[in-house]
Chain A
Amino acid sequence: MERSEIKGFIAKRVAKELHDGDVVNLGIGLPTLVPQYLPDDVHVVLQSENGIVGTAAVDDWTHSPLHIVDAGGSPSAVDAGGAFIDSATSFAMIRGGHVDATILGGLEVDEEGSLSNWIIPGKKMPGMGGAMDLLVGAKNVIIAMEHTAKGAPKILKKCRLPYTAVKCVDKIITEMAVIEVTEDGLLLTEYNPEFTVEQIQEATEAKLIISDGLKAMC
Chain B
Amino acid sequence: MPTLVSLEEAAALIHDGMTIMVGGFMGCGTPHDLIDVLADSDVKDLTVICNDASMPGGPMKEEHYGVAKLVHNHQVKRFIATHVGLNPEVAKQSMEDKTLEVILVPQGSLAEMIRAGGAGLGGVLTPTGVGTIVEDSPLCLGKQTIHGKEYLMMDAIRADVAIVAGSVVDPKGNIWYRGATSNFNPLMATAADTVIVEAEEIVYLGYIRPEDVRTQSIYVDYVVRGGKKRGTV
Contacts and interface: CB of A to CB of B under 8 A. Distances in A.
A129 B180 contact: no
B144 to A, nearest CB: 15
B180 A133 contact: no
Contacts of A94: 108
Interface in A111-139: 114, 119, 122, 124-133, 136-137
Contacts of B51: 50, 87
B184 interface: yes
A94 B109 CA distance: 11
Contacts of B184: 86-87
Interface residues of B, number: 54
A100 interface: no
Contact of A128 (B82, B182, B231): B82
A162 interface: yes
12 contacts: A67-B178, A68-B28, A69-B26, A86-B111, A86-B184, A87-B51, A114-B131, A125-B84, A127-B84, A127-B85, A136-B128, A165-B132
B115 interface: yes
Dominant secondary structure at the B interface: mixed
B27 A73 contact: yes
Given A84-B182, A90-B108, 20 more contacts: A51-B182, A65-B231, A65-B233, A67-B167, A69-B25, A84-B177, A86-B183, A86-B187, A86-B214, A91-B111, A91-B112, A126-B85, A130-B106, A131-B106, A133-B107, A137-B108, A137-B127, A165-B130, A166-B131, A167-B131
Given A88-B115, A133-B106, A68 B179 contact: yes
Contact of A68 (B86, B108, B180): B180
Interface string B82-110: 11111000010011000000101011111
A124 B81 CA distance: 15
A138 to B, nearest CB: 12
B95 A122 contact: yes
Contacts of A124: 85, 91
A84 B167 CA distance: 14
Interface residues of A, number: 47
Interface string B18-43: 00000001111100000000000000
B55 interface: yes
